[in-house]
Structure 1
Amino acid sequence: MNQFTNYVELQAEKAENLSFCRGIKLLHIRDKVETMLGFIGKGGIFEEYTVHSIEHIDEMLKIVEWLIPDITKEKMTYAEWLMLTLAIYFHDLGMVVTKDEFEHRDETGFKEYKEKVLENTEEFEYEECAKERGDSFLYQEFVRENHAARIRQWIEGKNARNLGEAEAVCQEIEDILKNLDKMFKADLAMICESHHKDDIEDFSKYKVKKMYGNTENEKVNLNYIAIILRTADLLHITRDRTPSVARRLINVSNPVSVLEWEKQMAVRAVRPKDQRNEEGVVDNSKQKDTIEITAYFDGAETAEAYFGLSSYLQYTRKELAKCCEIVEKAQKREGAVGYEFPWREVDESQIEVNGFEKKKLQFTIAQDNILQLLVGHTLYNDSSVVVRELVQNGIDAVRLQTEYEKRNGKDYSQGKVWVEWNSVKRQLSFWDNGTGMSIQDVENYLLKVGASKYRDEVVKKQFPNFTSISHFGIGILTCFMVANDIDIVTSSDEQEEANSINLRKVNGSYLLRKMDKNELDVRIKQHGTMVKLYVRSDVDMAKLENDLRKWIVVPEIPVYLSLTAMKI
């Protein structure tokens, strides 16, 4: 690059003659930073992470152009533009890992970090990750968690070995910033670290009127700069961070990395949404306050990535709300008039999907039934209830399917319930070839706490002689006593396609997608349901296995128990 074209860098360049930074050349700094950023992802460290190169820097600078309102641009000083630009340049440099640093990893704080991780990790899980890449996967997590603190130390001229041995990188940064005033440099280090901290509302730390010289252009609102850095970093989630060629070359395999790549590969644009007047006509004179996300997810295999993006945008909404609140406090309490942050919402209406349902499902409450439940019954507190409820649900589904067949003049005697427990993978699965669930059943009964299909008046009229074992409509909720993640696949005669539901935490949103019935296990291919629980590590396995043996005693319907890799 021979000269700047971005508005932010052009404004920052004007600070080169200010008293606290005479002698610096922003273009030279950028060139040096670009070279250093090129080391991220080399040598087996961060090679599966999304792009953190100079392209990430340029995209953040473009976001800042529209992120800062015109009224604030007019007020900002040259020193503020310089602080913001340098913070964008340096904020991810803590992820640089040299070959020499990795070779000396056990002489730093990594050794203690590794010991703590191993204490809380199942041996087979660690071996699975380590057998191909050794310590590299664990070291990159150590660096990722500490990269913001690392760059702060390096800018301050410190090479604390607790965060890794990085003498060469620290010296390079010292040379790049040698003409920068020490006070300004210390605050730059603090701002770079701030994008991974949760203390921006501390005005005694992030002062709104920090002076580095006697002129107005040498004043910096550190609080506002930290907010803009964090927001711009949050919003750079477009596909340019995940070039498909690079992905093919490095063959991303880490599950977390795969989800991150797929999520960002789908995002086409992040931009301010047009404001409209009362007649619905675009009005460019109105200040924009909503960020519009354009994305496209093609195929059922991208559904988890869509779910990940949606969760990320929910987090982004919370961060925007927090930033709005902090800026308003700064204006009222600290006199930071003119520093505006209008962004209050994220619009997902331009996110398109193909191959699964975009609609996110949530638990709702059947209030009368819940009140009866809470008044008449104590809350459950052990894994035996989970087994009992799901076995009973399976039996009820089989018995109701028998009633359906009788009504159609058929003899249904093949009803079964299977329970499978794999103690190595900590996966507990319940299968039945009963009625299965349509999408209406999922929304009206599965996710409506206290509602039961078997007590629905329509079902009662159709099958007056049918009486369910389960009563309260809380079977699926009990699963969260032992698991945070639950997958359900269900096939109903009422629909040509099956339904797959992924539940992530009891108070979260849930993802629905359709499946071809030909892809299903033969047990539920025609009709039936599979519920798989990913049992948490804090659940007592011995008690769970004992509960499984205890509750699998049902004379009416065959219940098959399969115990895999159990230590008996």
Structure 2
Amino acid sequence: MTGKAATYSGSFMKKLSGLDESKLFDQLNKAETNDATARHQLAGNVRWVVDHAQIISDQIVHRLPQYTLHNGTHLFNVLSIMEELLPEETLRALTPLECALCILAAFTHDLGMVMLDEDVKKYQETTGTPENQEWRRHCDAYPEEQRQIERWKKIRDSEPVRASEASRRISYLEGHLLAEFIRKRHADKIDPILHWLTRLEEEAKNQTLFHYGHFDFKRYLAQIGVSHGQRVSWLRETLVGSDKPDRFCRLAGGERVNVAFPGLLVRLADIMDFDASRAPGILYKHFGIENAVSILEWNKHMAITGWSFDDDTLTYEADACEHPIYEKSIHDFVNVIDREIQSVKEELNWQRRFLSSKGDHYQICLPEFVQPQIRAALDDQGHPVYIFHDLQFELDQHEIQQLLMGESLYADPALCLRELLQNALDALQMRDLRLKVLAKDPDARVEPTDALRSDEALQVRVTWGQDSATDREYIRVSDSGCGMTREVLERYFTKLGKSYYRSSEYEREQQILREHGFIVSPISQFGIGFLSCFMLADEIRIRTHPGQANHGVRAAYDVRLSGSGSLFWLSPGTLERQGTEITLYLKQPFQLDHDHERAIRWLKGHFDYSAQHGEPEEERQIFEQQKRIDPLWIIGRYVIWPLFPILFHLENHADQSVCLDDRFHGDVLAPIAIEVVTKKSSGVGFSRFSLGSPTLGISRLGR
């Protein structure tokens, strides 16, 4: 719904300063109900919570001085914006509990960011507890910060002249680690909010503080609070579960309560409260912020002087902006707000669709357009201190693909199979080392890993064939390695040029492996290498299982991609064991053409194991020019002595499989002539010479 004119402009913006000015609170007190007594008690409880939640929220800045304010001013701003987003007809249709949930969500959605000294000690100092283990895992993800802390501690203890500076640096770094810990918990878990709601009950000596009649809504309120940091559909999907699609509504005293609707309002109002009141300069100077991102966050808020919502456009104004980077950050954040509004529109339509005619009660005034209006500060001559041009380097995926995977780097599109094998072997090595570490130290903080089953081995399988459902040819690379979590998929697998093996998480685990006597040296770098698969395939399907799978961060996933610029389509995983399976569906004009004897003959020639190694060259050139693909021939050229076996076979023909391992070159490509060795051994005094399963005297050196 659009078209409502509501104006907020600088000091003329009407902001609530007390609950009695609230239209939602007024509606709560006069809404029709079957139980006036329950409504009256609910109103009194809401007033009590609002007063005390402000006091609690004022403490957020003590732990997170580098974040914009989340105090009472912000909470009343959020409530003000929520009310301006509500059309009158929607406001009048809200039930008492729906009004209460909107108000309470405004004042409790950030409670999870509050940690008192006793809470901090429980995580940081009480060793052996689940809380302390969670804190240690968090710190392990920041090895550079921990190194810096230790460095400054040594300076503090050994250089008295720099002791003051060192103490300040230590305090800042430790505060940063704690702030990140609080921020992540606040965004992902309902327990921190539930903790404070329970404490409010205890403080009020009222176990029905979050009751409407006999209906306990405390957990729903916590879910609404957490939802403002989740994807927009999270709250509805969480409430629905496996029930009917309209189960995001509940019945309380015979009255329908749309629990998901307040979640949309609070997430919009929270992100739209974007002005200088959340970052006063006095606090910025007092806390002496050093982190560049934090400085940027504060300054973009300080630059905003007002905003207006007229008809169909939401405009954020910034006068006297002093630096183009602040203007750029405002543009970026306004784009975030715009995307949030579009997501809420879509989600609101879903909710109304599930509720049919009842959904007409739930409307939100949403702008069609969001824009910044920014003016640069002027110098002494009245000229702008900068001229803003929003120019930056951009990566064109098609051009990158042509540049990096053209004739110079990836002359043969089929080399992407080598990239997949390298990744698979790295994943196997990582799982193998994790299992070895856990065997020595079950409490080691390596990534959770499943033990190998009796019928399971650390190996790679390369299979190919024709999909019976689509008649499309495919090549599949499967491994029983470590698999990928959703975080790895989102943060590294999907990012061009970003590698997990250059991340702080990997560096932390590498250090743990070294402490237990193991060294890992990956040969692959997911990113550009994986993108090369689209030179051979136009569709890729991935199934991955990270081990210790659950319904949370370690869930198994299936992923589908249709082109290098396509969306990653995630769905619940179907792989039942730890590992990863990647299937390439060949695009035209590539076609499978495997011949076992020919592949062995070509490999012998390639490695000079055959006197006729020069003869097949013309045959191979014609084969490759015709875009024919033989996985054994392609991969056999590049993987010589793998740490783990690689099995090759045409789908449904496992009996004809070829095993590429550290014996392949000795047993298959260049077998020892036993009769010649036997004859020569007799000549030097050995009457009998038994050679059972000959291998070359080569240790497993890697790939």
Tell me the TM-score range normalised by the shorter chain.
Answer: 0.5 to 0.7
Rounded to whole Å, the distance in 2 between the matches of 1:249 and 1:363 is 36
Where does 1:86-165 land on structure 2 (aligned, <5 Å)?
86-106=104-124, 107=126, 109-122=131-144, 123-125=146-148, 127=150, 131-133=170-172, 135-147=174-186, 149-154=190-195, 157=198
Residue type matched to 1:109 in 2? E
Rounded to whole Å, the distance in 1 between the matches of 2:399 and 2:57 is 58
Distance 1:169 1:373, change over 3 A: same
Asked if 1:180 is matched to 2:217, the reply is no
Residue type matched to 1:88 in 2? A
Q: Is 62-71 or 117-126 further displaced after alignment?
A: 117-126
Asked if 1:377 is matched to 2:397, the reply is no
Distance 1:61 1:380, change over 3 A: farther
Rounded to whole Å, the distance in 1 between the matches of 2:48 and 2:406 is 73
Asked if 1:259 is matched to 2:296, the reply is yes
Gaps of 5+ in 2: 1-16, 153-167, 378-384, 412-490, 508-519, 524-703
Rounded to whole Å, the distance in 2 between the matches of 1:334 and 1:72 is 15
Give the corresponding residue for 1:419: none
Deviation at 1:230, TM superposition (A): 0.7
Give the corresponding residue for 1:549: none
Gaps of 5+ in 1: 158-167, 276-287, 382-483, 485-504, 508-534, 544-568
Please say if residues 20 and 184 of structure 1, whose CA atoms lie closer than 8 Å, have aligned partners that are also in contact.
no
Q: Is 178-187 or 219-228 further displaced after alignment?
A: 178-187
Asked if 1:327 is matched to 2:348, the reply is yes
Question: CA-to-partner distance for each residue in 1:476-529, whole Å, 9 max, x for gaps?
Answer: xxxxxxxx9xxxxxxxxxxxxxxxxxxxx989xxxxxxxxxxxxxxxxxxxxxx
The alignment-based identity, stated in percent, is 23
Rounded to whole Å, the distance in 2 between the matches of 1:130 and 1:110 is 24
Q: 1:271 aligns with which of 303, 308, 317?
A: 308
User: If you compute each CA radius of gyration, which structure gives the higher value, 1 or 2?
Assistant: 2
Q: 2:85 aligns with which of 67, 73, 81?
A: 67
Q: 2:315 aligns with which of 283, 289, 292?
A: 292
Please say if residues 242 and 265 of structure 1, whose CA atoms lie closer than 8 Å, have aligned partners that are also in contact.
yes
Please say if residues 297 and 306 of structure 1, whose CA atoms lie closer than 8 Å, have aligned partners that are also in contact.
no
Distance 1:311 1:379, change over 3 A: farther
Please say if residues 324 and 342 of structure 1, whose CA atoms lie closer than 8 Å, have aligned partners that are also in contact.
no
Asked if 1:351 is matched to 2:379, the reply is no
Structure 2 SS opposite 1:109: helix
Where does 1:407-556 land on structure 2 (aligned, <5 Å)?
none
Rounded to whole Å, the distance in 1 between the matches of 2:331 and 2:207 is 39
Deviation at 1:82, TM superposition (A): 1.1
Question: CA-to-partner distance for each residue in 1:318-376, whole Å, 9 max, x for gaps?
Answer: 22111111111222232212322352544324222343333312557999998985896
Residue type matched to 2:25 in 1? E
Rounded to whole Å, the distance in 1 between the matches of 2:405 and 2:52 is 68
Please say if residues 200 and 227 of structure 1, whose CA atoms lie closer than 8 Å, have aligned partners that are also in contact.
no
Give the corresponding residue for 1:10: 26
Rounded to whole Å, the distance in 2 between the matches of 1:175 and 1:39 is 23
Residue type matched to 1:200 in 2? L
Rounded to whole Å, the distance in 2 between the matches of 1:150 and 1:297 is 42
Please say if residues 51 and 242 of structure 1, whose CA atoms lie closer than 8 Å, have aligned partners that are also in contact.
yes
The count of aligned residue pairs is 363
Rounded to whole Å, the distance in 1 between the matches of 2:351 and 2:183 is 31
Deviation at 1:114, TM superposition (A): 3.2
Deviation at 1:542, TM superposition (A): 13
Give the corresponding residue for 2:224: 191
Rounded to whole Å, the distance in 1 between the matches of 2:366 and 2:19 is 31
Please say if residues 295 and 352 of structure 1, whose CA atoms lie closer than 8 Å, have aligned partners that are also in contact.
yes
Deviation at 1:138, TM superposition (A): 1.6
Rounded to whole Å, the distance in 1 between the matches of 2:376 and 2:47 is 42
Question: CA-to-partner distance for each residue in 1:381-404, whole Å, 9 max, x for gaps?
Answer: 9xxxxxxxxxxxxxxxxxxxxxxx
Please say if residues 263 and 308 of structure 1, whose CA atoms lie closer than 8 Å, have aligned partners that are also in contact.
yes
Give the corresponding residue for 2:444: none
Deviation at 1:67, TM superposition (A): 1.4
Question: CA-to-partner distance for each residue in 1:55-99, whole Å, 9 max, x for gaps?
Answer: 111111111122123342233223211110011111111222212
Rounded to whole Å, the distance in 1 between the matches of 2:119 and 2:248 is 37
Please say if residues 112 and 196 of structure 2, whose CA atoms lie closer than 8 Å, have aligned partners that are also in contact.
no
Rounded to whole Å, the distance in 2 between the matches of 1:81 and 1:70 is 13
Instruction: Compute the TM-score of the two structures, normalised by the length of structure 1.
Output: 0.55
Residue type matched to 1:326 in 2? E
Asked if 1:308 is matched to 2:308, the reply is no
Q: 1:82 aligns with which of 100, 106, 110?
A: 100
Instruction: Compute the TM-score of the two structures, normalised by the length of structure 2.
Output: 0.45
Residue type matched to 1:212 in 2? A
Q: Is 4-13 or 104-113 further displaced after alignment?
A: 104-113
Rounded to whole Å, the distance in 2 between the matches of 1:358 and 1:150 is 44
Q: Is 112-121 or 332-341 further displaced after alignment?
A: 112-121
Please say if residues 316 and 373 of structure 2, whose CA atoms lie closer than 8 Å, have aligned partners that are also in contact.
yes
Distance 1:115 1:334, change over 3 A: same
Distance 1:506 1:297, change over 3 A: farther
Distance 1:14 1:143, change over 3 A: farther
Residue type matched to 1:338 in 2? H
Q: 1:317 aligns with which of 338, 346, 354?
A: 338
Asked if 1:224 is matched to 2:261, the reply is yes
Please say if residues 19 and 213 of structure 1, whose CA atoms lie closer than 8 Å, have aligned partners that are also in contact.
no
Question: CA-to-partner distance for each residue in 1:429-468, whole Å, 9 max, x for gaps?
Answer: xxxxxxxxxxxxxxxxxxxxxxxxxxxxxxxxxxxxxxxx
Rounded to whole Å, the distance in 2 between the matches of 1:35 and 1:177 is 21
Please say if residues 194 and 219 of structure 2, whose CA atoms lie closer than 8 Å, have aligned partners that are also in contact.
no
Deviation at 1:212, TM superposition (A): 0.6
Structure 2 SS opposite 1:51: coil
Structure 2 SS opposite 1:351: strand
Give the corresponding residue for 2:611: none
CA RMSD of aligned residues (A): 3.9
Give the corresponding residue for 1:242: 279
Rounded to whole Å, the distance in 1 between the matches of 2:282 and 2:141 is 38
Question: CA-to-partner distance for each residue in 1:39-68, whole Å, 9 max, x for gaps?
Answer: 2223xx113321111111111111112212
Structure 1 SS opposite 2:240: coil
Give the corresponding residue for 2:531: none
Rounded to whole Å, the distance in 2 between the matches of 1:84 and 1:298 is 35
Rounded to whole Å, the distance in 2 between the matches of 1:352 and 1:506 is 35
Residue type matched to 1:36 in 2? I
Distance 1:61 1:379, change over 3 A: farther
